[in-house]
Amino acid sequence: MAHDETESDADQEVASEDGEHLAKLNANLAKVEELSKRLVAAMGQRTPADVGLQGPGQDLYMKAGLAYWADMMSNPSKMLETQAQYWGQAMAHFMEMQNALAEGKMPLLPDDDLPSDKRFANPLWRTHPYFNFVRHQYVMGSEAIRQAVADLEGLEPKDKHRVEFFASQVIELFSPTNYFATNPDALEKAVETDGESLVHGLENLVRDIETHHGEILPTLADPDAFEVGGNIGTSEGSVVYRNRMMELIQYAPKTEKVHKTPLIIFPPWINKFYILDLKPQNSLIKWIVEQGYTLFVVSWKNPDESYSDVGLEDYVEDGYLTAIEQVKEITGEKQVNTVGYCIAGTTLNLTLALMKKRKDKSIKSATFFTTLTDFSEQGEFTPFLQDDFVEAIERQIDQDGVLSSYFMSKTMSFLRSKDLIYGPAVRSYMMGEAPPAFDLLFWNGDSTNLPGKMTMQYLRGLCQGNGLATDGFELCGETLSLKDVTVPLCAVGCMTDHIAAWADSFRGVTKMASKDKTFILSESGHIAGIVNPPSKKKYGHYTNPDVSGAAEDWLEAADYNEGSWWPRWEAWLAKRSGAMIKAREPGADGHEILAPAPGTYVKESKAA
């Protein structure tokens, strides 16, 4: 009897578990049905294919195809040899796998023969015959594509660079980790969660498509985890001036005395300034104030279509020059020190050249963070700076009045598609994970629009025409050149910067007429190399007082220094910042305070 009762209890427990699984399955199916309807509706929002940036690059594909066939006709043996080599490797590997399975073995290629890739960290990529085979076939196919492109002849260097870029995008797209049937992590999680991970993934997919009006753009960070002025961008200060282009923030002093000469930071207007004030422990703004400086930071307006006619001249006149005059008036000083970051550094060069023409000596020194001024080499942006892409951008601007933040975000993401597109998509859509609470990625997604006129001036005149570094760039009634930049300057490049390659930044510095030049090369990239506080002791930097000649020669003779470049730059700045005086408080001497930092413009959402 006791035995029968035990069996009955066990049967009831199994039945209960089966019932729970069935209920869970039915609930998930109901969610899938609802989400599918939303997905269809969201996809219907997609912009028509004939607008904006849809379809640029057709001429490039035609050129590449013609080059391929011309090469094959003139040298068919080379092309056939490449194809035969790939098929031979693929078939040999397939036969090895078949024989191995027949013998109960796994004599596949050793892992040492494959490049390290965190996407393939799951042990099943090594131990399971199916995934091991798929992984090796992907590696061989990728190498075959790279080799075919490398062997192309008859293309201009820029066109070949672009073909290489698009080939790399194809390789990333077809990674087996991007597809559910060939991703062991996603398959395992789906089994472990009874399919609930896939339901969450579909929810994430529908949310992103609805947010981006029919386009798939993964959400990189939890949008509810951060609040600008709440838990990021919290340094104490006040908005002391505002116009249609910018808000000027004066930060509250943290020392009893400060250097006499005030400092103004001009951040890029492609993103928002609080990258320099994410958290107290890595805030450059907070650190500068703590070193004893009266610090002002410009927070740019996020433009809408009414700003379509705003050009670089407006940024110079109503941004830079106005900010400088306001700071001089507030502090009572005749000169200021300045910092320009990325595109704001490029425009600071334009401002310096214009002030030279006007005999205005208000700027005592200039610092450039990851700044390009000589665009003779376009690096990773080569695919996006050719006429077909620029013309497509111009069409989108003609329609919207601004270059939408959506296109800027997408372009930047494709430069690092593995980390900023496919990786987040896999985690969100296949694994069903929520976006992480990561402040840097939150900031990265908080991008801004660009005024139409300014965008085309930058792309046509500076990037394509390279006017500032060559024959001069026409602006504000003057012809401006790097030869007009004569103030003491310090430039900081970042070794792995994929946006402003350090060697290109260095080349521009060598063309400036200043006799007092310093160049510092930080380890890491466009953001991490700049936001590199001394407390972390993470990235070092290189120095060499001879800022001339070729970049590679400068680096070969440079000294490596442990730790952040911030203290080295501050020592340089201190020598050009005057004596110590009583600290200045925002609002002193009757100057109006308009709002607490970080101000109002930085909190404006994307306008288009």
Q: Could you give the residue numbers annotated as active site?
A: 342
User: From CA 266, how far away is CA 543, in angstroms rounded?
Assistant: 24
What single-letter DSSP state applies at residue 232?
Answer: B
* H helix intervals, 115-225: 124-127, 129-150, 157-173, 184-192, 196-211
Residues, the chain: 608
Q: 59: which residues sit within 8 A by CB, 6+ positions away?
A: 388
In 3D space, the residue among 363, 337, 331 whose CA is nearest the CA of residue 582 turns out to be 331
Side chain identity, residue 444: N
Side chain identity, residue 93: H
Q: 277: which residues sit within 8 A by CB, 6+ positions away?
A: 232, 233, 234, 235, 283, 284, 285, 286, 598
In 3D space, the residue among 172, 196, 255 whose CA is nearest the CA of residue 27 turns out to be 196
CB 410 within 8 A of CB 217: yes
User: From CA 543, how far away is CA 520, in angstroms rounded?
Assistant: 5
The SS3 of residue 553 is: helix
The SS3 of residue 520 is: strand
In 3D space, the residue among 163, 326, 358 whose CA is nearest the CA of residue 242 turns out to be 326
Q: List b or e across 576-590, with b for residues whose CB sees 16 or more CB atoms inside 10 angstroms.
A: bbbeeeebbebeeee
Helix pair angle (157-173, 129-150), 10° resolution: 170
CB 340 within 8 A of CB 369: yes
User: From CA 246, how far away is CA 299, in angstroms rounded?
Assistant: 5
Residues of the chain by 3-state class (helix, strand, coil), percent to 5: 55, 10, 35
Query: Within the chain, what is the greatest distance between any pair of CA atoms?
Result: 106
Looking up tokens 């952040």 gives 564
